[in-house]
Structure 1
Amino acid sequence: MERLIDAAVEKVLGGQSLSYEEAVRLTEVEGPQVFDLFRAASRVKEKFVGPKVHLCSIINAKSGRCAENCAFCAQSAHHTTDAPVYPLVDGAQILEQARQAEKQGSACFGIITSGTTVKGQELERILEALRQIRKETTIHPSCSLGIIDEETARALKEAGMDTYHHNLETAESFFPSICTTHEYREDVETVRAVKRAGVKVCSGGIFGMGETPAQRVEMALTLKELDVDSVPMNFLNPIEGTRLEKAANLTPMECLKTIAIYRLILPDKRITICGGREKNLRDLQSWIFFAGANGTMIGNYLTTMGRSVEVDLKMFQDLGLETVMCEH
């Protein structure tokens, strides 16, 4: 395995891509050799994206009653959970949350809505909120509004959106086990439509939903083919009332190994660790940067609590990591 890791890192550092077979073999690394894998990912990160950490925050701008049946989601109307249910919040609340995120050091602020898509008056309200954020802050606004077309992406861009977030969630081969209310190709086409509109794309998924390590590699290679700009990695935090409520958490080492393999497959992309890091990584949260990540979400998630922003900022300070500042 040591030779395998050495060959993989030298190949990536030399500007070549890992094959599916090579990446799948890396998922078999176990024991002390996982630390060699982390070191390899750290070398690749330093060369391609550098040591700075990119912070992001979000607002759950519209919650619950989603018609999609995603197995993990507390906001699906197909599940009975304690997740909050409310319509799209007003623009003033979105702007205030953006200002707060800016003060806390986030470089990106995501406006997230439940549901398959957003249109009409809701879309107009979001467009106006984007204009106000651009006018009154230096933070980079992003949106996650579900499945959209190129025209909508262009309108969002013109209003000031910097990045569109749309997760594939998992590999195409595993997707039917997670969602049957829309097809995988619709998510892929959304990513392509946004890119045609000249907008950066943030797309990743959730790990620990029952997929195999090989399927994690499959999704990484799809993201590479789509040439997304950043990859959010979430680790399942099972929510009572969802179809995955009894799923077991991944071990911290499995999470870190997955991060490292994603860095080797996607050497020049921003890899951001988001939901579930507290529950799955526990005391090893700071190791995400050693394993190849160069970003993380701070504050709360959509329907679950994150840890204190102050604790995370102290972690970055203790690690000697410099965060990316807001600037246009």
Structure 2
Amino acid sequence: MTNPFLDKVLAGQPLSADDGLAILQARGAALTTILAGAHHLREQAFGDRIELCSIINAKSGRCGENCSFCAQSAHHRTTAPVYPLKSEDELVAGAHAAASNKSHCYGIVTSGTTISAGSELDTILAALRRIRQETSIEPSASLGLLDEQTAQALAAAGCVTYHHNLETARSFFPQVCTTHDYEEDVDTVRVAIQAGMKVCCGGIFGLGERAEQRVELALTLRDLKVDSVPLNFLNPVIGTPLEGSNHLTPLDCVRIIALFRYLLPSTRIAVCGGREHNLREFQSWMFMAGASGTMVGNYLTTTGRNAEIDLQMFSDAEVQVHAC
């Protein structure tokens, strides 16, 4: 069976929104052909290497944003932990632990709309400087909306990557969050790029968005020229508006991964939160579908899979972990 989507990408022609929608609608033999092409594109860009990333929930809970999926929103009643910013030593210790688990990138993640200048930002900057001095891992930060001064301070302290998800398509965002505007997130991505940092920017799927909106998000990220894209799949949290939601099948997730590989053929794509809950026995298929990495260890408020099980999966999938 021919693969017109692969032929277009290899010819240097960007895929259209209609092409992306066709990928999401593929079934049976057509899906098999699409996955083979996605695997080819991943190997063309990255060989058999994958990169792992880890995060630390550096400051948890009481977030003023009302994102419908988030366990840490003050607008919802969940059992997510609530605590202030962890100490500099705790943030650095997390980086050492991530490096020992072969992670290439380590993210310091805080709840809340933003981190303002003051003691919290000073602690994070000090931790970033030590991580660069004491480890070979690439530190990143996910601190919410970003201004130019803070972005420049992070870059100067050694923050390699700024992580800030758009979460979903612009057209669906008002159904997910009403406490800030989508353009503020887009501006944060641009500010981070202007400060000289790489940008890791993706979204979460299974919120009730349509297939067309999944394509819309991918095209937005392509236009922004982000460096890496984390793909998250909803793991419904009790106490949030989306508790009990079940919009995804394992093959839906596989098709979403393939969509992003075709639309962003040379971009790093990592499968992150919710892979255990949504991909289930299909987790190793994420590499066939085009993912070039995944998150290991625990997530912000939910636990991840045992590291040894993941390492066995990587071996079984015949991919090589590329650590710093």
Bin the TM-score by the shorter chain.
over 0.9
Structure 1 Cα separation of the partners of residues 267 and 46 of structure 2: 7
- Equivalent residue for 2:140? 142
5+ long unaligned stretches in structure 2:
none
Matched, 1:324 2:319: no
Matched, 1:157 2:134: no
1:201-212 to 2 correspondence within 5 Å? 201-212=199-210
Which 4+ runs in 1 deviate beyond 6 A?
none
- Structure 2 contact 250–278 (Cα < 8 Å) conserved: yes
How many Å apart are 1:249 and its aligned residue? 4.8
Over the matched positions of the two proteins, sequence identity in percent amounts to 56
Pick from 32, 40, 44 the counterpart of residue 43 of structure 1: 40
Pick from 216, 219, 223 the counterpart of residue 218 of structure 1: 216
Structure 2 Cα separation of the partners of residues 270 and 89 of structure 1: 29
Q: CA separation of 1:118/1:204 partners in 2, compared to 1, >3 Å: closer, same or farther?
A: same
1:13-32 to 2 correspondence within 5 Å? 13-32=10-29
Pick from 232, 235, 238 the counterpart of residue 234 of structure 1: 232
How many Å apart are 1:25 and its aligned residue? 2.2
- Structure 2 contact 208–247 (Cα < 8 Å) conserved: no
1:174-193 to 2 correspondence within 5 Å? 174-193=172-191
The one-letter amino acid paired with 2:14 is: S
- Equivalent residue for 2:68? 71
1:128-174 Cα distance to aligned partner (Å, 9 max, x none): 00011111111100000000012211110110101000000000000
Pick from 8, 13, 35 the counterpart of residue 11 of structure 1: 8
- Structure 1 contact 49–269 (Cα < 8 Å) conserved: no
The one-letter amino acid paired with 1:99 is: H
5+ long unaligned stretches in structure 1:
none
Matched, 1:108 2:105: yes
Paired positions, count: 323
- Structure 2 contact 24–252 (Cα < 8 Å) conserved: no
Structure 1 Cα separation of the partners of residues 317 and 244 of structure 2: 35
The one-letter amino acid paired with 2:291 is: A
- Equivalent residue for 2:292? 294
Pick from 275, 279, 282 the counterpart of residue 280 of structure 2: 282
Structure 2 Cα separation of the partners of residues 249 and 182 of structure 1: 25
How many Å apart are 1:44 and its aligned residue? 1.3
- Structure 2 contact 48–318 (Cα < 8 Å) conserved: no
Structure 2 Cα separation of the partners of residues 202 and 291 of structure 1: 20
- Structure 1 contact 27–214 (Cα < 8 Å) conserved: no
- Structure 1 contact 194–201 (Cα < 8 Å) conserved: yes
- Equivalent residue for 1:306? 304
Paired residue secondary structure (1:107): strand
Structure 1 Cα separation of the partners of residues 134 and 24 of structure 2: 46
Structure 2 Cα separation of the partners of residues 12 and 49 of structure 1: 16
1:296-323 Cα distance to aligned partner (Å, 9 max, x none): 0000000001010111111112222111
The alignment's TM-score, normalised by the length of structure 2, stands at 0.98
Paired residue secondary structure (1:57): strand
- Structure 1 contact 72–243 (Cα < 8 Å) conserved: yes
- Equivalent residue for 2:91? 94
Paired residue secondary structure (1:32): helix
- Structure 1 contact 45–267 (Cα < 8 Å) conserved: yes
The alignment's TM-score, normalised by the length of structure 1, stands at 0.97
Paired residue secondary structure (2:103): coil
How many Å apart are 1:236 and its aligned residue? 0.2
Paired residue secondary structure (1:289): helix
Paired residue secondary structure (1:53): strand
- Equivalent residue for 1:55? 52
Structure 2 Cα separation of the partners of residues 90 and 60 of structure 1: 12
